[in-house]
Amino acid sequence: MVSPQKRRGDDFERAVQDHLRSNGFPWCGRTRAGYARDHGDLHLVPGPAVIVQCKNVARLALPEWLSQLAEQVAEAGADHGVLVVKRRGVADPGRSYAVMELDAMARLLRAAGYGSELEVAG
């Protein structure tokens, strides 16, 4: 029997996946459960691989989650990662919080063509 917390987490992952697919990311896929190494909950590919880690819990633990996300991005060999955190009392997954470190956001925006490339110190 699946615990209520696991069921809520799985339901939220599916809702985020469906939302991303209907908003221009048809290749968004869930990782299969049971892997020894955690590669995140959702993967956005092709292109620069993006890991999406979904959280549907009452208490926020951003420092811990961001550390885990960095490990998952490295483990998966992805280019970027983002936390999607469900807002309490809000059913629409599109109104969830998207959280990442500022430097990670800057890399993502540069990869999307915003900003300019960083100069390499030499």
What is the rounded CA–CA span in Å between residue 23 and residue 15? 12
The terminus-to-terminus CA distance of the chain in angstroms comes to 58
What is the chain's percent helix, strand, coil content, to nearest 5? 40, 15, 45
pLDDT at 46 over 90: no
Q: Using one digit for the tens of pLDDT, what is the confidence trace for 9-41?
A: 899 999 999 999 999 999 898 876 655 556 778
- pTM for the full model? 0.87
| Cβ–Cβ < 8 Å for 23, 94 | yes
Q: Report all structural domains of the chain as residue ranges with CATH numbers, in order of start.
A: 4-111 (3.40.1350)
| Cβ–Cβ < 8 Å for 17, 40 | no
- 70: CB partners within 8 A, 6+ apart: 81
Q: Using one digit for the tens of pLDDT, what is the confidence trace for 74-83?
A: 988 899 999 9
Quote the pLDDT of residue 33. 65
